């Protein structure tokens, strides 16, 4: 398998994991009534975990090359997809 196809599949898995994490946070938010302050803290925790997962995938599965553009692309894409809900 060529390098671009491998990277594409790995980042699809990355997106699936982030989507699962988002659903877990959404289920917890619907199950327990929390104040706006706690919701804000949950959002910050979600974005920190999303960043850690994205950076882990970038460094481990992209031959440890720091292509920061992948990280920013994932952040922008996830913010657009999940921020509009």
pLDDT digits (tens, 9 = 90+) for 27-57: 988 888 888 888 888 888 888 888 888 888 8
Instruction: Give the mean pLDDT of the chain.
Output: 80
Q: What is the mean pLDDT of residues 75-82?
A: 71
Nearest residue to 53 (alpha-carbon basis) of 83, 19, 76, 77:
19
Residue 13 to residue 20: CA distance in whole angstroms: 11
The residue segments making up the domain with residue 53 are 3-83
Percent of the chain with pLDDT over 70: 79
What is the count of structural domains for the chain? Answer: 1
Residue 28 to residue 84: CA distance in whole angstroms: 19
Q: How many residues are there in the chain?
A: 85
Burial of 35 (0-12, 13-18, 19+ CB in 10 A): exposed
What pLDDT score does 66 carry?
58
Cβ atoms of residues 76 and 69 within 8 Å: no
Q: What is the mean pLDDT of residues 3-14?
A: 83
Is pLDDT at 75 greater than 60 in this prediction? Answer: yes
């Amino acid at each position: 398998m060529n390098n671009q196809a491998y990277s594409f599949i790995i980042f699809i898995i990355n997106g699936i994991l982030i989507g699962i994490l988002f659903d877990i946070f959404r289920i917890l938010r619907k199950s327990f009534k929390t104040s706006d302050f706690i919701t804000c803290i949950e959002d910050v925790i979600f974005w920190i975990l999303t960043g850690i997962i994205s950076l882990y995938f970038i460094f481990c599965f992209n031959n440890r090359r720091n292509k920061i553009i992948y990280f920013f692309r994932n952040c922008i894409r996830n913010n657009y997809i999940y921020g509009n809900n």
